Structure 1
Amino acid sequence: MKVTLSDEARRYMGLFDEETDVSPNDCLVESDRVVFLIPAGEMADAIGPDGRIVRRVEEKIGRTVDLVEDAETPAAFVENALAPAVVRGVTISEQGDRVAYVEVVDADRGVAIGSNGQHIETARRLARRQHDIDDIQLT
């Protein structure tokens, strides 16, 4: 699926790249935060020692910054998108709509959903944009 970025998202991605030397693969701009999709294996560089680099980006943007690590497979991607929730398994159904069924540890259901459903909605948006997954359902 081709991802279309707004001018604002492109500006934020450029700023993030300048500050961290990590080029995000995608960016979601929301009213109170910006979510960057970080290439696999580059999360530590994006965060920086003690989170200093990402905090500097937050100060420049004036919003909270959330990071999601990219992955090769759709199942691994969904697991990363729901972190820090502990995921036991992901099954991708190809019958009709493409749905990711995710088994999450009971104690982490709230973490996977997030405040007002914000975390799972972000995971759904990124999964749709990156892997053509129509929905994510917790089991």
Structure 2
Amino acid sequence: MGKLRLTTDEIMKIGLFEKISNVPVLDCVATEDRLAFIVKEGDAGAAIGKGGEHVKTAEEKFGKKVDIIEYSDDWRKFIRNIFAPLQLEDVWIKRAGKDVIAYIRINPKIRRAIYGEKGKNLERALNILKRHTKITKIKVIIGDNRRKEKKNVENTQE
């Protein structure tokens, strides 16, 4: 994992959440309505707190929904953690030229939740992956067919 450049705002949010949870935070990714804190492997439970108390406190303080995502050096596991509690049917990674593409196969029933409004969830997942891995794209495959590659999320910021 390379060195992350954090904004002052992200550093402040991380500091506050570390104070609330007493768990070291690796990264913070904010969108309009959500905050995701990335924690070390094995730290998610402690970060969430008993009965979700740390998350509830943080949500009150930040006025946003707070997600805790557990980092993993295993990119496939990290991708699953980003989308949890949604269950991905399969995750695989392929190199295509200079791109590293994460393929996620999902059940059509969770398609809406995976994409989110206007693809927001997928965009956030890609943003997190770009900050912590060499993955540059996510392709979602609906159902069983590996050949039928669906919607393609291109690099949005570079």
Measure how far apart 1:63 and its partner are. 2.1
- CA–CA distance in structure 2, aligned partners of residues 130 and 98 of structure 1: 13
* Alignment-derived partner of residue 156 in structure 2: none
Asked whether the equivalents of residues 99 and 136 of structure 1 are also in contact (C-alpha less than 8 Å), the reply is yes
Measure how far apart 1:82 and its partner are. 1.5
Measure how far apart 1:4 and its partner are. 0.9
Give the superposed CA RMSD.
1.4
Structure 1 letter corresponding to 2:114: A
Measure how far apart 1:133 and its partner are. 0.6
* Alignment-derived partner of residue 69 in structure 2: 68
Measure how far apart 1:136 and its partner are. 0.8
Residue identity (%) = 30
Measure how far apart 1:132 and its partner are. 1.6
Asked whether the equivalents of residues 2 and 129 of structure 1 are also in contact (C-alpha less than 8 Å), the reply is no
Measure how far apart 1:85 and its partner are. 1.8
Higher helix share: 1
TM-score by length of 2: 0.81
* Alignment-derived partner of residue 134 in structure 2: 132
Structure 2: give runs of 5+ residues left out of the alignment: 142-158
Structure 1: give runs of 5+ residues left out of the alignment: none
3-state SS of paired residue (2:25): coil
3-state SS of paired residue (2:105): strand
Asked whether the equivalents of residues 82 and 120 of structure 1 are also in contact (C-alpha less than 8 Å), the reply is no
How many residues align structurally? 139
